[in-house]
Amino acid sequence: MKQSASMATGITGKIWTAPFLLIVGIMLFLLNLAVGAVSLPILTIVGTLSDLIWLGPDVARDNDPRTFAILMHIRLPRAVAAILAGSALAVSGAAMQGLFRNPMASPDIMGISAGAALGAVLGISLGVAAWHPMMVPLFSVVGSLITAVIVFFLAGRAGAVNLLFIILAGLALSSLLGGAISAVLLFSQEYEVAQFIFWTMGGLEGRMWQHVLWPAPWIVGLMVLALFQGRALNLLSQGEENAHGIGLNVRGTKVVILILTAGLTSLAISISGPIGFIGLMVPHLVRIITGPDHRSLLPLSAIAGAIFVLFCDLIGRWLIAPHEIKVGIITSIVGGSYFIYLIIRTYRQGRWL
Amino acid sequence: MSMLLQVVNLCRGDVGRQRLNALNFNIEPGELVGVIGPNGAGKSTLLKTLIGFLNFSQGQVLLQGRAVTQLRAVERAARVSYLSQEHAEAFPFPVFEVVAMGLYARQGGISHTTAMDQVDSVLERLELSALKSRKFNQLSGGEKQLIQFARLLVQDAPLMLLDEPTANLDIGHEFQLMNCLREDCDSGKSAMVAIHNLNTAAEFCDRLILINEGEIVTDGAPEKVITQAMINDLYSDRAFVACNPHSGAVNVLPVRQHKKDRNITVHIIGGAGSAVELSRQLLRLGCSLTGGIAHHQDTDASFWRSQSVPFVEVTAFETISQDMVEKTAPWVEEADLTILCDFPIGPANLANLELASRAGNLLVVQSDTATNRFFNPASEQAFEQLFKEGIAGKKVQKARGINEVIALVRSQLEAVQ
């Protein structure tokens, strides 16, 4: 009786978590739209948004031109950027931790962040940023994907993918690229440095539709594919050999997950820069609440990742308004301190993270 | 179709040590096959190659007639299941979910309730139901192993490959697991188990495949494979092949090597197993031993032979002759101490008393509780006589048991040093 009861609570816990997170997410989304240099009442926002959805942009603009302008040109793209980047980073973090069977793995384990940063920094230094606002994000995606491919081939040997070599190659390449970035920075102009900071720290300021719209369908598509990997990741938790014996195509699964996470991470970085700690921490939190089953972990991490970035951005904009703190700084501070608390608590309880 | 597994000329290139060379064997339904061999022989490599986890360069692995390389992962898992030696435990999955993972290859066809029923029944069969809701990563090493075994059983494949499934188990659970495999094999499944414990292998398996350096050395019935020559050659010259007195299976027993670092020679006159424990303790003390006259197949004789203690052997039930006594007497005379053990005395071994009377320094073990020690009044008389006349004028000590003997020898050793 006791067993079935605890199983039942486990399932109820999962059932309630998703709607709860969704409601929190929607509330944070609306708050993000409301807070800023000009405060907008939530009801006005909801009104304008429903006009936009049901009656089209022209009607919405005519009904409330001021609110519409603020929302459409500044806050909505920024909030959407937060949601896309947060969920993409959290999902790829969850998938990476599952793949490496290590709760300390993170999406930039393949040196993707460093690759993205170098790509962007090169783009800025070479002056291509001036051609088109999308050139730098494009450079960052190309940079991160090239890095991922190099790591993949360094670690791949005779058809097998050795995960330990992925980590080592990722580390080596990250430090190599870090050196290259510093070298480029040495020769750069002062006005370029602010841009560089964005690409090494991550932020959401000045994100427009053009930054958000082109990676959006890709992110959504890759994320949907990633959600289908839940069972495979569960099996991998038993070790590659056992998973193979159970009937999983281990090699195929590893390649698919590495490609999905590389894609998701580099696209997220192209939107927001490499925001730290999300991919590491969010899956962790979700796992504590609903358990390690990747079938629930992946979708819940997506929602929780979006919430976390929305929340951190809100704090960053509100804390020392009218100035704002980069969202990457807030995630690092919030995430880092929470993580320290978690380590101490877990250590005291003598438990696994 | 009847053959569950056919391995034809299987070769694997020399990537490090993971080499296999021209392996040929089949596994039929109902067979429980043990794969034995010293560390690094290629047991794990073989199993991993058979399930297609490792590549091979030549030959064929056929599962129910189809090449393992041609099967989709799910099709393969329906034919063969595998229990690995590695244990991953990064995330706190509940035990029942870990067991249910074994259903992956056929989850499409069964409902959630059926799945849970199967998990329950396997856990019940292994008496593990109490662990059902526990976190897998918080279990002990042995419990984890058993849960992984449950996961393998749930997969319900006709052929099971297990890589050292009993490595973390106590002897009770080891037998439980092997009995479980035995039952399944008796009902038409097959299992191939890489196993280090040769005694367990010999007891439970129909057939053993002995591997060394990636090649099959022998393939056959346990008593054909486990021979003294093989053990000495591949494992150790300090292990001996015997027969399990309880089951009749072939048995391998380790024998510790003792340093003879004490400058004292003890001669032991024994018989009927009376000298085994005493000889063992004296060897541990570091004494040099010589044995008296013992009958063939006597426990003392086998023990002395295993320990390379020199002794004189006569055929079973043969009456010990005066010649034999004369032949052994020099050892008794040279020994620093001669011990006459507490063995039954009858006409056949009466001469051992004669031998004892030659000793310069004799210690007689005689427990108070011994009854029926003498075969007939004549032997009792001879024994009495030994004390009265045979050793007149010599030093004779008495001890009531092994502990007293050892204490005595100890004090003598200390006196020498």
User: Does B101 contact A249 at a Cβ distance shorter than 8 Å?
Assistant: no
User: Does A249 contact B81 at a Cβ distance shorter than 8 Å?
Assistant: no
Residues of A in contact with B94 (CB under 8 A): 7, 10, 291
Per-residue pLDDT reduced to its tens digit, B130-148: 999 899 888 888 899 999 9
DSSP assignments along B240-271, one per residue: EEEE-TTT--EEEEE-------SS-EEEEE--
Nearest to A245 among B51, B93, B138 (CB): B51
Q: According to the model, what pLDDT value does residue A3 have? A: 36
Res A262 pLDDT > 70:
yes
From B190, B140, B139, B197, select the one nearest B167 (Cα to Cα): B197
Residues of A in contact with B82 (CB under 8 A): 241-242, 244-245
User: Does B77 contact A245 at a Cβ distance shorter than 8 Å?
Assistant: yes
* A191 vs B71 pLDDT, higher one: B71
Instruction: Please report the number of interchain residue pairs, chain A to chain B, with beta-carbon separation below 8 angstroms.
Output: 100
Residues 6+ apart with CB under 8 A from A117: A140, A143, A177, A181, A199, A200, A274
Res A2 pLDDT > 60:
no
Are B28 and B72 contacting, i.e. CB atoms less than 8 angstroms apart?
A: no
What share of chain A has pLDDT > 70, as a percent? 92
Q: According to the model, what pLDDT value does residue A10 have? A: 44
User: Does A231 contact B90 at a Cβ distance shorter than 8 Å?
Assistant: no
User: Does B73 contact A247 at a Cβ distance shorter than 8 Å?
Assistant: yes
* A132 vs A120 pLDDT, higher one: A120
Residues of B in contact with A102 (CB under 8 A): 90
Q: According to the model, what pLDDT value does residue B122 have? A: 94
Nearest to B88 among A10, A101, A352 (CB): A101
Give which of B15, B71, B101, B106 to mutate to test A binding, by max A Cβ within 10 Å: B101
Q: According to the model, what pLDDT value does residue A6 have? A: 35
DSSP state of B139: S
Per-range mean pLDDT, top range of A282-296, A338-352, B179-193, B306-320:
B179-193
Per-range mean pLDDT, top range of A274-288, A334-348, B311-325, B377-391:
A274-288
Whether chain B has a CB inside 8 Å of the CB on A290: the answer is no
What share of chain A has pLDDT > 90, as a percent? 27
Confidence label for A29 from pLDDT (cuts 50, 70 and 90): very high
Window A:93-122, CB contacts with B under 8 Å: 97-98, 101-103
Residues of A in contact with B80 (CB under 8 A): 245
Confidence label for A201 from pLDDT (cuts 50, 70 and 90): confident
**Nearest residue of B to residue A232 by CA position?**
B104
pTM: 0.81
* A5 vs A17 pLDDT, higher one: A17
Nearest CA distance, B235 vs chain A (angstrom): 28
Residues of A in contact with B105 (CB under 8 A): 246-247
What gap in Å lies between CA A232 and CA A217, rounded to an integer?
24
Instruction: Identify the helix (H) or strand (E) that includes residue B159.
Output: strand B159-163
Residues of B in contact with A238 (CB under 8 A): 88, 98, 101, 148, 151
Averaged pLDDT, B350-371: 75
> Domain coordinates of chain A in residue numbers?
2-348
CA distances from B284 to B255, B351, B413 (A): 12, 29, 13
Three-class DSSP labels, B75-96: HHHHHEEEECCCCCCCCCCEHH
Tokens 């507490």: give the residue. Answer: B342
Confidence label for B244 from pLDDT (cuts 50, 70 and 90): confident
Task: Tally Cβ neighbours within 10 Å of residue A125.
Answer: 17
User: Does A101 contact B92 at a Cβ distance shorter than 8 Å?
Assistant: no
What gap in Å lies between CA A8 and CA A16, rounded to an integer?
12
Q: According to the model, what pLDDT value does residue B216 have? A: 93
Assign 3-state DSSP to chain B and report helix, strand, coil percentages, each to 5. 40, 25, 35
What gap in Å lies between CA B154 and CA B81, rounded to an integer?
10
**Nearest residue of B to residue A158 by CA position?**
B55
Q: According to the model, what pLDDT value does residue B392 have? A: 59
Nearest CA distance, B49 vs chain A (angstrom): 11
Per-residue pLDDT reduced to its tens digit, B148-200: 999 999 999 999 999 999 988 999 999 999 999 999 999 999 999 999 999 99
What gap in Å lies between CA A17 and CA A29, rounded to an integer?
18
DSSP state of B389: I
Instruction: Write down the number of H helices and E strands in chain B.
Output: 15, 19
Whether chain B has a CB inside 8 Å of the CB on A292: the answer is yes
Per-residue pLDDT reduced to its tens digit, A277-322: 898 889 988 988 888 999 999 999 999 999 999 999 999 988 887 8
Give which of B18, B89, B91, B156 to mutate to test A binding, by max A Cβ within 10 Å: B91
User: Does A242 contact B148 at a Cβ distance shorter than 8 Å?
Assistant: yes
Residues of B in contact with A6 (CB under 8 A): 133
Averaged pLDDT, B200-227: 92
Please report, as a single letter, which amino acid is at residue A338.
Answer: Y
User: Does B81 contact A246 at a Cβ distance shorter than 8 Å?
Assistant: yes
Whether chain B has a CB inside 8 Å of the CB on A231: the answer is yes
Whether ipTM > 0.95 holds is no
Q: Which residues pair with B265 in a beta bridge?
A: B288
Q: According to the model, what pLDDT value does residue B172 have? A: 92
From A333, A335, A331, select the one nearest A85 (Cα to Cα): A331
Mean pLDDT of chain A: 84
Are B104 and A246 contacting, i.e. CB atoms less than 8 angstroms apart?
A: yes
The CATH code of the domain at A2-348 is 1.10.3470.10
Nearest CA distance, A237 vs chain B (angstrom): 6
Q: According to the model, what pLDDT value does residue A165 have? A: 78
What gap in Å lies between CA B279 and CA B413, rounded to an integer?
16
Classify strands B250-254 and B239-243 as parallel, antiparallel or unpaired. Answer: antiparallel
User: Does B53 contact A247 at a Cβ distance shorter than 8 Å?
Assistant: no
Residues of A in contact with B76 (CB under 8 A): 247
User: Does A238 contact B137 at a Cβ distance shorter than 8 Å?
Assistant: no
Confidence label for A233 from pLDDT (cuts 50, 70 and 90): very high
**Nearest residue of B to residue A97 by CA position?**
B90
Give which of A162, A244, A286, A293 to mutate to test B binding, by max B Cβ within 10 Å: A244
Mean pLDDT of chain B: 85
Lowest pLDDT segment from B121-125, B231-235, B340-344: B340-344
Residues of A in contact with B98 (CB under 8 A): 238
Q: According to the model, what pLDDT value does residue B76 have? A: 93
Torsion-angle region of residue A129: left (phi > 0), alpha (psi -120 to 50) or beta? alpha
